[in-house]
Structure 1
Amino acid sequence: MHLNNLLHYSYWFGQPFMARGTTFSLLVGIFLILVLIGLLAKIWRVYRVENWQKEVLRRLGNFGLTIGILGLIWLFLRQNEVFFLGLRFWLLLGFLVSVWWVYRIVWYLVARVPKIKAEIAQRAVKEKYLP
């Protein structure tokens, strides 16, 4: 594949060939890893005590399960040559949604979690002096 193909309308909206060999294995592997990450995050969430950790794992679990399952469905539709739903355009759209979703998770970790920890520390100091 040449990078010039990415600039053509027909590449994104034309019916792709069935994925075979390394491409198929790579796509299935990526989507299954995302599903596994989502399941592990959902399981680990149960064993966490602090609410901010539960929230991060909830977001990560939702991301992994949603993108992983939708990716596997897209791959199934592509392999069965379903015209509109098997287009490469959906993979590009899924990638852009994934980038946005990961950005929001990282933003929560970087911007919100320190504020939440500071608020918990302030509350602990106040409660120390209350009967």
Structure 2
Amino acid sequence: MTLAYDVFDDRCPTRMVLDRLADKWALLVLDRLQGGPVRFNQLRRDIRGLSQKVLSQTLKRLERDGLIERSVRPTVPVSVDYALTPLGRTLTETVAAFAHWAERNMAAVLSAQAAYDAALTG
């Protein structure tokens, strides 16, 4: 089967999508939205270290890519929720596996880094 896109071709538009998904903030937002719709300020509280500006930019990019949707509710003040789209939900297992792999394997990564650094200075 021949695919219309080739991720190994430097002109392929899939590179843009891979770049987006390789972004730590995008991964964390997508992972956080797996449980259902979340408000902007809740996302900001849940993902510590993520500035309001970067969160806003990340959400806009993910929305443009069709991975999340933004819902505005006419309350006072206005409430804005973000949720995964059907396309975004196709990534939930992959995103969770990747994000939580880091948690499970961080000790081994830190150990490998220390061994590498010691070998360089040793």
TM-score bracket for this pair, using the shorter chain length: 0.3 to 0.5
Q: TM-score, normalised by structure 2?
A: 0.34
Q: TM-score, normalised by structure 1?
A: 0.32
Of the two structures, which has the highest relative contact order with CA contacts closer than 8 Å and spacing of 6 or more? 1
More strand by share: 2
